[in-house]
Structure 1
């Protein structure tokens, strides 16, 4: 498996619990919350909220959720436990102090939503997610349409200039100009993250930009889920393993 340096890496070990001045950047779906058949099937969880609250206090605010979901959805699912967060793959960003940075939606997103709606109307189980800054086509409940969905999304990306972002059983066309790596880098230039060691935890291809940015800035990435080619240096098995690991960090004396 290629490592961040491009060399063939051994099986990835678990990340350490004792981290010096860690700055944690956590994906949501598949990392802090289990993957679900539909986006709205994921909701708040008592343990997740507790771990995030204690972790944020332990790390003096150096915790951010970095997700493809909108900030509104991040807040709903995390029960407001994440003060710093980035949504829609870096296109929305809320600093730890609550101030917001957001890109202007590309007008072509409306065209993508309309095309996805027409595609989904004829294919039961396909769902469209309108995030204003992007359009998502979910086919977890209709995996047989994956080829058709990719052809449609790639064609729209070429015609409109929207950025095509593949994910786990979802294709997203988004306003160009940002990704999770850019969001991580922006957080690291600001308080309270500045001077910390960035750690990006993610499960999907969308998280590779974050892994690369963390490595470039002196930290590392943690892949969640099965082994695959990745820029991450460590790996955890799944959501429960992530919460156990974060719980351990929260308990380490400052």
Structure 2
């Protein structure tokens, strides 16, 4: 691994290199939407390509189990999407919940009563903007406009709604993402970077080179943690700015990279 981690901060004029194939001393973390999977109008409509789960499992075996899914989705939703990966470590809701290597679960906090009122109001706002979606995820509430017929108007409406709603949810914050806003508990609430740090504190992740692959603004927390530890931060797509130091073009490129790694390990076994 020596010499792989770059110390310069990339910008739009500095092309990021593609990451090397995974090494056996890595601890590997993947985001889901926009990274492992292509986006869909509704989260439940995503397509899991044939062979992806098998390749991920082979890669996890190569890393002695040091592979985790770190997503904004709830863990139960991840398990519905990836039924073959249900035993893998995972962090859901941006780190609010976590599943360890032996299946122990850390659950998200109970949502406040006011969230039901906020959900109803969010659905009312969404009804005025065709193609938008309101998604309840435990104590989190996500408002999507990826499939909106007029995305800029929908974005502005959701932003105004989210800002006004904080009076009903004083302990919450507004978190931005790729064509989504999410209301989530604030304060000391974990983010994806915290989730990665927690995994790295215990086997099989401890003592390994951390590598995070993700596309979204919420992945920047994890990129920073990985950079601080001399690992590889891999940006999927063309979003800027980012502290990521490596790059893969799109989810198809991520899947091809995983498939090459799985095939390479098979050839070297």
TM-score (norm 2): 0.87
Range 105-114 or range 191-200, more displaced: 105-114
Instruction: Tell me if 1:211 matches 2:217.
Output: no
Contact kept? 2:19, 2:246, Cα under 8 Å: yes
CA distance in 2, matches of 1:72, 1:232: 29
Q: Tell me how far 1:226 sits from its aligned partner.
A: 1.1
Range 211-220 or range 195-204, more displaced: 211-220
CA distance in 2, matches of 1:249, 1:14: 14
Structure 2 portions without partners, runs of 5+: 1-5
Contact kept? 1:43, 1:76, Cα under 8 Å: no
| Pair 1:175–1:106, CA change in 2 (3 A) | farther
Partner of 1:100: 105
User: What secondary structure, in the 3-state scheme, does the structure 2 residue paired with 1:23 have?
Assistant: strand
Instruction: Tell me if 1:86 matches 2:91.
Output: yes
Greater C-alpha radius of gyration: 2
Q: Tell me how far 1:215 sits from its aligned partner.
A: 1.2
Instruction: Tell me if 1:194 matches 2:206.
Output: yes
Per-residue CA distance 1:137-189 (angstroms, 9 max, x = gap): 11112213111111111222365231211111111101231110000000000
Q: Matched residue pairs, number? A: 252
CA distance in 1, matches of 2:243, 2:193: 12
TM-score (norm 1): 0.92
Contact kept? 1:91, 1:179, Cα under 8 Å: yes
CA distance in 1, matches of 2:22, 2:185: 38
Partner of 1:179: 191
Contact kept? 2:10, 2:243, Cα under 8 Å: no
CA distance in 2, matches of 1:21, 1:7: 25
Corresponding residue to 2:245 among 224, 233, 248:
233
Contact kept? 1:11, 1:227, Cα under 8 Å: no
Contact kept? 2:35, 2:254, Cα under 8 Å: yes
Structure 1 portions without partners, runs of 5+: none
RMSD: 2.0
